[in-house]
C-alpha cells in the first residue's frame, strides 16, 4: 500500500478505532460539507486529522463546540490566541514552534498569527465548527 500525505488526504478517526483516508483536500466549504455528511454517524466522537501550511495569519476566529482540538506545530512559528469559554472570554496567547502543541477546549474561540511560515497538524472534533471574521 503506498503512503498517503496528510496535507493532501486528511484522515478521519471514527468509532471503533477506525481510520479512513479522506478525498483530496480542497479547502472549500463543499469539501467540509461532504466530510460532515460522510462522517456524521460518528457524531462528536469523530476526529479530523489534517495538516496545513500557513504563510499568513488567519483572517477568522474558529470554535469547536463539541470537543477538544490539538494543534501541533511541525515547522516554523505560529502564535495561537484562545478566547477561553467563548468569544468574549479571557485571551490566552500561546507561542508554538516545532514540536509544540496546544489544546483548544470545547467552546474556546481561537485564531493564529504566523510569525514565520509554518506547518501544523490538527486533530479536530469538527462537529458544529463555527467561524467568524477577525476584526
The per-residue pLDDT for range 76-90, each reduced to its tens digit, is: 999 999 999 989 999
Q: Which CATH class is domain 11-133?
A: mainly beta
Strand 18-21 relative to strand 101-104: parallel, antiparallel, unpaired? unpaired
119: cell is 506547518
**Other CB atoms within 10 A of residue 56 CB:** 9
- Which pLDDT score, from 0 to 100, does residue 106 have? 97
Question: Do residues 58 and 101 make contact, with C-beta atoms less than 8 angstroms apart?
Answer: no
- Which pLDDT score, from 0 to 100, does residue 135 have? 77
- Which pLDDT score, from 0 to 100, does residue 90 have? 96
Question: Do residues 91 and 81 make contact, with C-beta atoms less than 8 angstroms apart?
Answer: yes
pTM: 0.94
- End-to-end distance of the chain based on CA atoms, in angstroms? 46
**Other CB atoms within 10 A of residue 52 CB:** 14
Boundaries of every domain in the chain? 11-133
- Which pLDDT score, from 0 to 100, does residue 82 have? 98
The alpha carbon dihedral of 59, 24, 97, 68 has a sign of: positive
Residues 79 and 77: their CA atoms lie apart, in Å, by: 7
* Residues in the chain with pLDDT values less than 70: 1
- Which pLDDT score, from 0 to 100, does residue 1 have? 67
Amino acid at each position: 500500500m503506498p503512503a498517503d500525505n496528510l496535507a493532501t488526504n486528511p484522515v478521519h478517526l471514527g468509532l471503533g478505532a477506525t481510520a479512513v483516508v479522506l478525498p483530496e483536500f480542497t479547502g472549500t466549504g463543499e469539501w467540509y460539507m461532504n466530510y460532515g455528511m460522510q462522517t456524521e454517524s460518528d457524531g462528536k466522537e469523530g476526529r479530523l486529522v489534517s495538516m496545513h501550511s500557513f504563510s499568513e495569519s488567519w483572517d477568522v476566529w474558529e470554535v469547536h463546540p463539541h470537543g477538544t482540538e490539538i494543534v501541533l506545530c511541525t515547522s516554523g512559528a505560529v502564535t495561537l490566541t484562545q478566547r477561553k469559554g467563548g468569544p468574549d472570554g479571557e485571551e490566552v496567547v500561546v507561542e508554538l514552534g516545532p514540536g509544540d502543541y496546544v489544546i483548544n477546549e470545547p467552546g474556546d474561540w481561537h485564531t493564529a498569527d504566523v510569525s514565520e511560515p509554518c506547518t501544523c497538524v490538527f486533530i479536530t472534533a469538527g462537529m458544529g465548527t463555527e467561524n467568524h471574521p477577525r476584526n
